[in-house]
């Protein structure tokens, strides 16, 4: 499937996504199309709303940008437990040029379905935990800038408006 990257301002990024109920042939082609966008844009994680698809699907590049075949498809995820807190710089393919420090739990335990519909659990910390939480937020229509203080978000207003209008902050 051929997808375009959706940027801040597109209403699909604010929609709450639908659960995947059918694990049929369309799923691998969706994952493949998302992986293509992810690699083209040099990202490490991508959520389905970012390609205009309002479904609970996330892909994570477990090689973190090495571009080897390490895509983890994550379907219908939920966070079971979190622990600690840490601040890390985040960016998002839907917000080109914006990078901000965001506080989130340090460790997460998650449950999700794989591409065959099998239930899996995963514990993660560090960068992987960060990517997981960022991408899972997308499935609830939550964007990383929502996790900034009002003051910090206000400082970004011009950049955000620019992305919404022309897709870039330049
Ligand atoms: Co994002």
How close is the Cα of 145 to the center of ligand 1, in Å? Answer: 10
Q: How far apart are CA 98 and CA 65, in angstroms?
A: 18
Average pLDDT, integer, range 103-119? 97
Q: How far apart are CA 88 and CA 106, in angstroms?
A: 10
Average pLDDT, integer, range 11-15? 97
pLDDT of residue 98: 97
Where would I find the beta strands (DSSP E) of 4-151? 45-47, 57-61, 71-83, 86-90, 100-104, 107-113, 119-125
Average pLDDT, integer, range 121-136? 97
Residue 83 has pLDDT above 90, yes or no: yes
pLDDT of residue 1: 83
> What's the count of helices (H) and strands (E) in the chain, helices before strands?
4, 7
How close is the Cα of 91 to the center of ligand 1, in Å? Answer: 7
Average pLDDT, integer, range 145-152? 95
Average pLDDT, integer, range 15-25? 95
Grade residue 68 by pLDDT with cuts at 50, 70 and 90. Answer: low
Phi then psi for residue 77, to 5 deg, are: -75, 155
How close is the Cα of 131 to the center of ligand 1, in Å? Answer: 9
Residue 140 has pLDDT above 80, yes or no: yes
Grade residue 9 by pLDDT with cuts at 50, 70 and 90. Answer: very high
135 a catalytic residue: yes
How close is the Cα of 106 to the center of ligand 1, in Å? Answer: 18
Grade residue 170 by pLDDT with cuts at 50, 70 and 90. Answer: confident
How close is the Cα of 60 to the center of ligand 1, in Å? Answer: 11
How close is the Cα of 164 to the center of ligand 1, in Å? Answer: 15
Choice among 66, 90, 135, 165 that is catalytic:
135
pTM of model > 0.85: yes
pLDDT of residue 52: 98
pLDDT in tens, 25-59: 999 999 999 999 999 999 999 999 999 999 999 99
Average pLDDT, rounded, for the chain: 95
Grade residue 66 by pLDDT with cuts at 50, 70 and 90. Answer: confident
């Amino acid at each position: 499937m051929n997808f375009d990257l959706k940027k801040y301002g597109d209403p699909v990024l604010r929609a709450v996504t639908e659960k995947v109920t059918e694990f049929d042939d369309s799923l691998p082609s969706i994952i493949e199309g998302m992986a293509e966008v992810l690699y083209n844009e040099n990202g490490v994680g991508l959520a389905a709303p970012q390609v205009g698809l309002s479904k609970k699907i996330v892909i994570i590049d477990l090689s973190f940008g090495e571009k080897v075949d390490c895509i983890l498809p994550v379907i219908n995820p939920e966070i079971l437990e979190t622990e600690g807190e840490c601040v890390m710089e985040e960016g998002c393919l839907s917000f080109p040029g914006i990078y901000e420090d965001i506080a989130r739990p340090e460790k997460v335990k998650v449950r999700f379905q794989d591409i065959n519909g099998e239930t899996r659990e995963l514990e993660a910390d560090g960068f992987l935990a960060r990517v997981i939480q960022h991408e899972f937020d997308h499935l609830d229509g939550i964007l990383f800038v929502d996790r900034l203080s009002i003051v910090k978000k206000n400082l970004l207003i011009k950049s955000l408006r620019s992305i919404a209008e022309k897709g870039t902050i330049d």
